[in-house]
Amino acid sequence: MEKNLPLVPTNYEDDNIQTLEWMEHIRQRPGMYIGKLGDGAHADDGIYILLKEVLDNSIDEYMMGYGKTIEVKIEEGTVSVRDYGRGVPLGKVVDVSSKMNTGGKFDSKAFKKSVGLNGVGIKAVNALSGYFLIESYREGECKRVEYCRAIITEEKEVAPTREQNGTYIYFVPDKQIFKDYEYKHEYVESLLKNYVFLNSGLTILFNGKKFYSKNGLVDLLNENMTTEPLYPIIHLKGEDIEIVITHSNQYGEEYYSFVNGQHTTQGGTHLSAFKEHVGKVIKEYYNKGFEYSDIRAGVVAAISIKVEEPVFESQTKTKLGSKDMGPKGPTVGKFIGDFLKKELDNFLHKNADVSEALLHKIQDSEKERKAIAGVTKLARDRARKANLHNKKLRDCRVHLSDAKGELMEDTCIFITEGDSASGSITKSRDPNLQAVFSLRGKPLNSFGLTKKIVYENEEFNLLQAALNIEDGLDGLRYNKVIIATDADVDGMHIRLLLITFFLQFFPDLIKSNHVHILQTPLFRVRNKQKTWYCYSEDERLEAMASAGKNPEITRFKGLGEISPDEFKHFIGKDIRLDQLSMKKGDQVKEMLAFYMGKNTMERQNFIIDNLVVEEEIE
């Protein structure tokens, strides 16, 4: 029998149905088009996606054989991109910049394997810009259109020009949407480097600085590896595919994957196929019963493929969903598998020194795995049982493997110290997307220890199990692993011990931009009308000036001192995170040896010589 449902006293008439203009929809739901907004503090913030959407069009021109140079300028929050491709057809400049589902990329003959196939990219930039200018130069003629939030403010007739063929775009992200944003050159340069690594022969000039790659993905690995390769990088290249692979003595696996020039940071069907077939080909080459985990231990590799009409799992295109190379092509898995079976197998047969070095690495990994096999089985069983009633882990409902689109970015786990801090975060968190792992005191200093300690130490064992990273990042349950410790000496020490643990045994977690430090306010300043939360001394002084005479000032020394109601502000949409990163020049091994090694007196003298005394707040 149907239950009587209560009537909801709301109107549902013709007037309740709204049709938004395309630019209004983008402005109201920017996350659907560019992911998160942000202020430029992180590499995946929206202002960098705006730049990338414009650059993708210029890169597509280069891939089609037009224009070998792209000029990028960023000054005081303004961006310009000039390419020397064919230029937008002059009669269609308005259409391609302000009419949805309009673009040359729907015609696969003109843009067979490009990135932006949905005709949205440049229009999204236009809609999210306070000012947007596009000029197209073709055969001695120019068409110029200016916009404000995608509404034309000035359109000039086609006029003669001396400019070379190509397109010029200048935009200013809308400050109503991107508040207090700033382009960080390190993130821009990282983006541009990937473009030249994937397009050998392309030159990009960024504020006059030249970016160029002669060796493609080999240059990419050399740029990103923080340890020395055990053998020269294997470089395999074919039609629509390029692969580089080597091994190092680091733990974990490290991959960089790309589709049509797009950095697929979340991987996808192509990366899964690559991992599977690399292991299979190498195992068959040596004709031994190696475990795939031993073959891939310490691997550092990159794969770039070109797919017709690729399907991504979100507008930001971080994970490939396509199963086929094109409407009439083979599956992605078969294409990659056939290529590796032929090219990698041939390479190993022709290069005995490389195959011998690779064999030694696999055998070393096998020995280490077997040496800790007993401990590992015991630890797995203990972790599995503990997880059933794991008081250390307060899990969330949605995990990285379950989530789609924007939710993938939001899944996270906070690693906290003590019951009070974890209690505050647990009461404040979003239980759907935010998990909490509570440490018991200070974790062990893992510097110089073997991976056996990961299984013997209960704290590390349970943390590894919670993250689900024992067999690599494929099973990672959270996009962000957030270290949330007090802003005092003990908290900083715990933070260093956790970073050491990740650097030692799971460096790929850091290199894949998953590890973050939670920023929490140091001060609260308030008067009868308003409350300011301050993350630095400068912010405190600014808040005091705004608050007027005799404001109340509170110094937070621990996360447990912050009430759950207040904590909601710090782990919600305005969360402040510092992302950990690793690059070639970081000298990780030397840094860990100095800060976490047994050179106590040397480190003590360094601290004394560099000590900064904090003044008391009056």
DSSP 22-49: HHHHHHH-THHHHS----SSSTTSHHHH
pLDDT at 17: 44
Does 349 score more than 50 pLDDT? yes
User: How many CB atoms are closer than 10 A to CB 349?
Assistant: 10
Does 618 score more than 50 pLDDT? no
The strands making up 412-417's β-sheet, listed across from edge to edge, are 393-394, 434-439, 412-417, 480-484, 515-518, 577-579
pLDDT band at 382 (very low <50, low <70, confident <90, very high): low
Distance CA 411, CA 466 (A): 13
Distance CA 181, CA 74 (A): 13
The residues of the chain that CATH labels 3.40.50.670 are 373-520+564-609
Residues 6+ apart with CB under 8 A from 45: 36, 37, 38, 39, 181
CA of 257: how far to CAs of 224, 328, 567, in Å? 13, 23, 37
Q: Enter the CATH code of domain 373-520+564-609.
A: 3.40.50.670
Strand segments, DSSP code E, in 273-351 are 299-305
- Which range has the worst mean pLDDT, 27-41, 444-458, 549-563, 594-608? 594-608
In SS3 terms, 334-369 reads as HHHHHHHHHHHHHHHHHCHHHHHHHHHHHHHHHHHH
Percent residues over pLDDT 70 in the chain = 86
Distance CA 120, CA 98 (A): 9
CA of 611: how far to CAs of 594, 595, 606, 607, in Å? 17, 15, 8, 6
Does 69 score more than 90 pLDDT? yes
pLDDT at 41: 82
Distance CA 499, CA 492 (A): 11
Residues 6+ apart with CB under 8 A from 167: 57, 58, 61, 82, 83, 85, 87, 88, 134, 135, 136, 137
pLDDT at 379: 65
Does 209 score more than 70 pLDDT? yes
Query: What average pLDDT does range 34-48 have in this prediction?
Result: 83
Q: Which residues pair with 73 in a beta bridge?
A: 80
Residues 6+ apart with CB under 8 A from 471: 293
The residues of the chain that CATH labels 3.30.565.10 are 22-212
pLDDT tens sequence across 413-452 = 999 987 767 788 888 999 999 999 998 888 898 888 888 8
pLDDT at 388: 45
Closest alpha carbon to 461 in 373, 369, 380, 374: 380
Does 504 score more than 80 pLDDT? yes
Architecture of domain 22-212: 2-Layer Sandwich (3.30)
pLDDT at 233: 97
Q: Is 513 left (phi over 0), alpha (psi -120 to 50) or beta?
A: left
pLDDT at 44: 80
Distance CA 278, CA 283 (A): 8
Q: Report whether 72 contacts 80 (CB < 8 A).
A: yes
Q: What are the counts of helices (DSSP H) followed by strands (DSSP E) for the chain?
A: 22, 23
pLDDT band at 166 (very low <50, low <70, confident <90, very high): very high
Does 117 score more than 70 pLDDT? no
DSSP secondary-structure letter at 443?
Answer: P
The residues of the chain that CATH labels 3.30.230.10 are 217-367
Architecture of domain 217-367: 2-Layer Sandwich (3.30)
pLDDT band at 285 (very low <50, low <70, confident <90, very high): very high
Does 611 score more than 90 pLDDT? no
pLDDT band at 359 (very low <50, low <70, confident <90, very high): very high
Q: Report whether 29 contacts 152 (CB < 8 A).
A: no
Distance CA 473, CA 256 (A): 13
